[in-house]
Amino acid sequence: MSEATETPSEAAPFQAAPQAPAEGSAPSTGGGGGYSGSRGEDTRSERPRRRTGGGGGGGRFGRRRVCSFCVDKVDSIDYKEPARLRRYVSDRAKIEPRRKTGTCAKHQRMLTLALKRARHVALLPFTAQHIQLTGVFPTRS
């Protein structure tokens, strides 16, 4: 065939990115888009780069937590173990969400039920201790 009809496999897979200008030289684009310092040098090459390769995902979320109940192969969560259940309650005696504790949906439902039962038989508190003593909520400032 002719040279004008080129298959994608024959075409270049990618084009090389343009190289950054050498240190001390002026930026190639006019107008000085905020990258030049007080003396006019290009500071882009001096700025540390974030690492983008690797396992994917953003740095905001970090590593996915594993359900500790699934690891231990727990079939049912016992409400009579307050030491184990206390890990899943905040300092304000609120039940911690799945995104924070890393439990799976099935075990989170069982955990919520066990925490509520433990509260009902007074093994765990309904509220934080300082709220129980004073009876008022602290003011936010």
Give the residue ranges of DSSP H helices in the chain. 68-71, 82-85, 98-101, 105-120, 129-134
Which residues, 6 or more positions from 36, have their beta carbon under 8 angstroms from its beta carbon? 26, 27, 42, 43
What's the pLDDT at 119?
A: 94
Q: Which residue ranges form the domains of the chain, and what is each CATH number? A: 68-134 (4.10.640.10)
| CB-CB contact of 71 with 62 (8 Å) | no
pTM, two decimals, is 0.52
Q: Note the maximum CA span of the chain.
A: 88
What's the pLDDT at 138?
A: 61
Distance CA 39, CA 105 (A): 58
What's the pLDDT at 114?
A: 97
Q: What is the mean pLDDT of each run of 10 residues along the chain (141 residues)?
A: 57 62 58 56 64 58 82 94 92 92 95 96 87 65 60
What's the pLDDT at 129?
A: 78
